[in-house]
Amino acid sequence: MKYITKWSIKEENFAAAVERFKTNPPTMPEGVTMHGRWHQMGGGDGFSLIESDDPVAVSRYVLAWADLVDQEIYAVLDDSEIAQALS
């Protein structure tokens, strides 16, 4: 299953989040593949595309930053997968 994670860093957490990212960048738990991570230029928002068959591992990834970052996560389908669902 593929997931899009969206994050937003509150202004009061920005400096702490930047410091953590510089000294301890996010790592993927076993069973989670990162396809890409994109950051808003000059801001604290962004999103990533990850893939995993293990929702517990996905939760570990999200929870590792939950103290500093507001996040949303969505399970997503690509065109061929949604086409199957629609047929």
Would you state the pLDDT for residue 25?
Answer: 82
The domain limits of the chain are 2-86
What is the identity of the amino acid at 65?
W
What are the mean pLDDT values of the chain's consecutive 10-residue runs (87 residues total)?
96 93 89 96 93 96 93 96 95
> What residues contact residue 20 under an 8 Å CB cut-off, 6+ apart?
65, 68
Determine the CATH number of domain 2-86: 3.30.70.920
Q: Retrieve residue 65's tokens.
A: 């930053």
